[in-house]
Amino acid sequence: MKMPVCVLRLPRGPDLNSRGFDPNSPRYIALCPTTISAFSESGTDSCSLRDEQRTRSVLRERYLRSLIAMSQKQVWFNMHERVRVEAKFGASDIDVLNFQVSDLQTPLGIQKEALIRCPDVISYSFEL
């Protein structure tokens, strides 16, 4: 179980539209249902919009801090079909669609480096 497994994974190519947070990029639209639709539906006066944006930034900053706290730590990922894997967390992408991890312990062996797709993850946990 502890032997590293040589499985060839081709690296993902660069995104065509990866200039930061682009809600019109095909990847984003396909994979990440946007929360921006939430505020375009509600009655938008500038005051509530400002409050909403401020809250959005506060919440996002806290989430980013939680990601920083998680980096280089052992994290357990609960995936579909009751699959539970452990890995060392590296980084997340901006849309929280992929997690980069190292030493992913899978039923097949240990993947030295891997990308975990977030839609496949139900929950994850770690200790501080």
- Residue whose CB is less far from another protein, 1 or 128: 128
Q: Tell me how far CA of residue 106 lies from CA of 25, 53, 79, 88, in angstroms.
A: 32, 40, 12, 13
Q: How far apart are CA 24 and CA 66, in angstroms?
A: 27
- Of 2-10, 11-19, 51-59, 108-116, the window that binds another protein (rule: CB under 8 A) is 51-59
Residue 93 CB, shortest distance to another protein, in Å, is 10
- Residue whose CB is less far from another protein, 60 or 112: 60
Under rule CB under 8 A, residue 119 binds another protein: yes
Under rule CB under 8 A, residue 68 binds another protein: yes
Determine the residue type at 76. W
Other CB atoms within 10 Å distance of the CB of residue 106: 15
